Amino acid sequence: MKTAVVFFSYQGTTRHIAHAVAGEIGATPVELEPVVHRRSARERATFAWGSHQIRMPAPLEITHDDYSFHSADLIVVGTPVWGGSMAPPVRAFLRNHEFFRRSFALFSCYAGRAGNAIPHMRDLLIGNSIIGELALREPRDGTLDAVTDEARRWAEALSRDLFGNERKEASGE
């Protein structure tokens, strides 16, 4: 059973969670990077760049070094909530690939309201199966221990479901 964790993170929370989830399910994390962001990350304030991206009508160009998700049996996708939805690089990722009949699990990290990030990701994945969803509220004090534990438990349950199914298939049930 091959798994992949694909995510975007601007301020590090989603990255931290993605790495914890990947560790739990034995996946290599694949970080999405906006090409423009790479060029000018240091020059722009987070909210200015992010708010601009949310309003951008044109598709965002993204890059990532790893394509292992193409052969994964489960693709976990993680996003920060931006403007009540998924962050633009994650939207670009889901739009750039014609996923069909694949298994996905979706998570979001947010500061105030989870909004529609997960429902919007689901809308872009019609024809696929969504086997898990998790919205994590980033604590105000910045300590990520509790949400990381929650994410690990979620990932552990996903992994149990997957490997359980694999065992059933192997035994012909």
Q: Which residues of the chain form contacts with ligand FMN (CB under 6 A)?
A: 9-15, 46-47, 50-51, 80-84, 109-113, 115, 138
Q: Which is nearer to ligand FMN, 28 or 51 (CB)?
A: 51
- Judge whether 72 and 128 are in contact, CB under 8 Å: no
Q: Distance of alpha carbon 90 from its chain centroid, rounded?
A: 7
- Judge whether 80 and 108 are in contact, CB under 8 Å: yes
**Residues forming a β-bridge with 34:** 62
Q: Which is nearer to ligand FMN, 113 or 167 (CB)?
A: 113
The distance of closest approach from Cβ of residue 78 to ligand FMN in the complex, given in angstroms and rounded to an integer, is 8
Q: Which is nearer to ligand FMN, 1 or 111 (CB)?
A: 111
The distance of closest approach from Cβ of residue 111 to ligand FMN in the complex, given in angstroms and rounded to an integer, is 4
Ordered alpha helix ranges (H), the chain: 13-25, 35-40, 46-55, 88-96, 117-123, 145-170
CB-based closest residue to ligand FMN: 50
